[in-house]
Amino acid sequence: SIFLSEFAKHKDLFPGANGEAMFVGTVLHSLDHTKMDWNLEDPLWLDVDDEDFGKMAEVGRVIKVGFVSDVPGLYFHKRFKGSGHPFYESVYHKAAKINKRLADNMDTCIIK
């Protein structure tokens, strides 16, 4: 994978870090929240009365209203794009060739 091959090249910049865990905590986590924001305009669309999935719908509603939108007023840069860090920039440029819209929304940390 792009992420893991780039991580191997820059591993000395992340002592003690696990590449797979970092991928899950940065790329997958941030894009999971981003995609929920894109796909679920209204949290009330989730059916909390559904017999099988009602409880999950309740959780989904809370996540949508509290943990999906970008947090305003951050004092640090949180995206791979424009980070200025050799690892994040390298991953971003390669990912952007595949899907720029998704690459533009990859966060370097769990921030939402």
- pLDDT of 93 reads 99
- pLDDT of 89 reads 98
pLDDT < 50: residue spans in the chain: none
- pLDDT of 71 reads 87
Domain coordinates in residue numbering, the chain? 2-43+71-103
Tokens matching residue 86: 């050799």
| Percent of residues, the chain, with pLDDT higher than 70 | 100
- pLDDT of 62 reads 98
Q: Note the helical H segments in the chain.
A: 2-9, 19-23, 29-39, 54-66, 86-98, 100-103
